[in-house]
Amino acid sequence: MTTHKTRMLIIGSGPAGYSAAIYGARAGMEPIVVQGLQPGGQLTITTDVENYPGFEDVIQGPWLMEQMQKQAEHVGTRMMWDTIVDVDVAGGSPFRAVGDSGDEYIGDVLVIATGAQAKWLGVPGEEELGGKGVSACATCDGFFYRGKKVAVIGGGNTAVEEALYLTNHSDDVTLIHRRDELRSEKILQDRLFASEKISTLWNKTVESFEAGENGKLGHLVLVDTVTGEKSTLEVDGAFVAIGHAPATELFKGKLPMDDGGYLLVEAGTPMTEIPGVFACGDVMDHTYRQAVTAAGTGCMAALDAERFLATLEFAEKEAAE
Ligand code: NDP
């Protein structure tokens, strides 16, 4: 077992974690990033990225994350191929975390950037056709279905927002929901029902995603939840919008969370209720969930971490004199 000490310990390696690391390293905090099970985060499982500013041409998600990692390393971040399995924040700074490797990490500040993951249906064809018609993010991939036929699966705010967003690109959007009423807010429902571009299929679940002749998504096999009857729906794109799960298991009972398990922060900041513990990116944001917003809150976490450390060091110096 090795103990790694740092002024800034970052858990998670998506755009939030890497941005916090870049700012933290440049501020002399010599950050350690513990990368977790999926180094690079959700963007490593997407293909084309067209909405991250700074690139004229389409870039690839894994490439973008590789660049962020290298940039963070270049300015002085240490990357650890480990997954945190336990954290101790109760006693205040310094904070202690333990990795799957058995190694111990001690940080004067702790930045939590563990992200969130879209929930999937787990039915045949879904994984195989991921990036070939099946997606969990209309904002990311909707553009690729300009003028095509698309479906959204789900009945919450995300599903309705995704369906409405897709009408910017497609005149033929079908919302498929497993019940006969939506759980989304009424105002969103009103907009959905008012749109001539959106039709709804009630009481239907997706049994499988099937490829067409070109190897991309061709149709969905649906099952009626009331009659059990099967049907098919031809689509070019299908967006699974059945919710996201933040990666906050580690922090249960240790940091306050909302009902969905997202970490609670002081409004407009990345500060949790424990001084010196910051949360950034999708782990604290169920609304925007974009790479660029995650990077933004990662930057905020590093700036606030720097302030926290400066205050801490000043207080220690005063006490010593
Ligand atoms: P929700 O949990 O609210 O909704 C998930 C939807 O997916 C439900 O309609 C649910 O059906 C359906 N669903 C779940 N599992 C399955 C399954 N296996 N098969 C078929 N359907 C399934 O998730 P959201 O992502 O929509 O929202 C999460 C949170 O984020 C909410 O608090 C929401 O209000 C918030 N949010 C707010 C926004 C805003 O304010 N603008 C935008 C987006 C999200 P059922 O209804 O039958 O349970």
236-288 per-position pLDDT tens digit = 999 999 988 999 999 999 999 999 999 999 999 999 999 999 999 999 998 89
> What's the rounded Cα separation, in Å, for the pair 245 and 286?
9
Report pLDDT for 47: 67
In which element (H, E) is residue 295 found? helix 291-320
Q: Provide the terminal-to-terminal Cα distance of the chain, rounded to the nearest Å.
A: 36
CA 153 to ligand 1 centroid distance, Å: 10
Provide the token pair at 297: 């809150």
The per-residue pLDDT for 49 is: 82
Structure letter (DSSP) for residue 77: P
What are the phi and psi torsion angles at 249 (to 5°)? Answer: -50, -40
* Percent of all residues in the chain with a pLDDT value above 90, rounded to a whole number: 85
Residue 299 a catalytic site member: no
Ligand 1 atom showing the smallest separation from residue 185 Cα: 34
* CA within 13 Å, CB half, 27: 22
225 alpha carbon to ligand 1 midpoint, in Å? Answer: 18
- Find residue 128's DSSP bridge partners: none
Q: Ligand 1: does its nearest atom lie under 6 Å from the Cβ of 121? A: yes
140 is catalytic: yes
- How is residue 136 written in tokens? 């969990």
Task: Give the model's pLDDT for residue 232.
Answer: 98
* Nearest of 203, 255, 263, 192 to residue 227 by alpha carbon: 203
Which residue's CA is the nearest one to ligand 1's atom 45? 155
- The answer to whether 97 and 9 are in contact (CB under 8 A) is yes
Examine the pLDDT at 44 and tell me if it is beyond 90: no
Residues 48 and 252: their CA atoms lie apart, in Å, by 35
Whole-number Å distance between alpha carbons of 218 and 234: 6
Task: Tell me if 158 CB under 6 Å of ligand 1.
Answer: yes
Q: Using the predicted structure, report yes or no on whether residue 157 has a pLDDT greater than 80.
A: yes
Catalytically annotated residue among 82, 108, 141, 285: 141
Q: Is 142 in the pocket of ligand 1 (CB under 6 A)?
A: no
- Residue 243: CB within 6 Å of ligand 1? yes
The per-residue pLDDT for 320 is: 87
Q: Given 48, 86, 100, 137, which residue is catalytic?
A: 137
* pLDDT, mean of residues 163-186: 96
Catalytic residue among 82, 140, 236, 304: 140
Per the DSSP assignment, residues forming a β-bridge with 245 are 117
156 lines ligand 1 (CB under 6 A): yes
In this predicted structure, the answer to whether residue 46 has a pLDDT above a threshold of 70 is: no
pLDDT score at 202: 98
Compute, in angstroms, the gap from residue 30 CA to the centroid of ligand 1: 39
Statement: residue 174 has pLDDT above 80: yes
**Is 242 near ligand 1, meaning CB less than 6 Å away?**
yes
137 among known catalytic residues: yes
Peptide bond into 275 cis (omega under 30): no
Contact indicator for 198, 163 with CB cutoff of 8 Å: yes
Name the CA dihedral angle for 295, 45, 289, 145, rounded to a multiple of 10 degrees.
120
CA of 195 to the centre of ligand 1 (A): 20
Distances (CA, A) of 83 to 79, 100, 240: 12, 5, 28
Per-residue pLDDT band at 89 (split at 50, 70, 90): very high
Question: Which residue carries 């006969």 as its tokens?
Answer: 180
